[in-house]
Amino acid sequence: MFIRLKEKRDVDKIDRFIKVAFETAKVKDGDEHHFVQRLRQSLDYLPQFEYVAECNDEIVGHIMLTRIHFENEQEESKLLLLAPLAVRLDQRNKGVGARLMETAEAAAKDAKEKAIILVGDSAYDNCYGYQQASEFGLLSEPEIPREYLLIKKIDVSDWLKSDGKILIPS
């Protein structure tokens, strides 16, 4: 298995892959493939943060980070949204998701990003250093249940000083 940046030729394959992968996911809404399409069409899309995992010339995993915004009374900041992370059913629990997350997080750190927001299963993602965003007084707009809204600080400085809203694209 190897991980590489998404190429233009991958778009349709990735969209089909995400739809199928999320049919068996624990946390899903059934619209993940359309959500990816909307993110790619937005001004906040960052192609340098979209990766696929391949095995035998087949996509077995996908991850992307997209620009999102954080605001409170004192400031407005730019963060990254990790959504979605998808791994083919027969490749789950084999480290594919972990390698994709490590790749995306390393790219975010190299780009000197502040934090990654993740919407997902906290039981799975807590082992990767993500914490519930509500512990920092963060909520989302539109509202996402607290247990699914997670954050991982990339920038170790104390930039997060007060409550605020994370603006999630819909």
**What's the CA gap between 156 and 88, in Å, rounded?**
33
Residue matched to tokens 């600080």: 153
Contact 125, 59 (CB under 8 A): no
Most confident range (mean pLDDT) of 56-70, 122-136, 141-155 is 56-70
**Given pLDDT bands bounded at 50, 70 and 90, which one contains residue 99?**
very high
**Domains of the chain as residue ranges with CATH:** 2-167 (3.40.630.30)
Q: Taking the model in full, what pTM does it have? A: 0.90
Alpha carbon distances (Å) from 52 to 27, 60, 152, 156, 161:
20, 8, 21, 28, 35
**What's the CA gap between 128 and 55, in Å, rounded?**
24
Query: pLDDT tens digit string along 40-90?
Result: 999 999 999 999 999 999 999 999 999 998 887 777 788 999 988 999 999
Choose between 71 and 97: higher pLDDT: 97
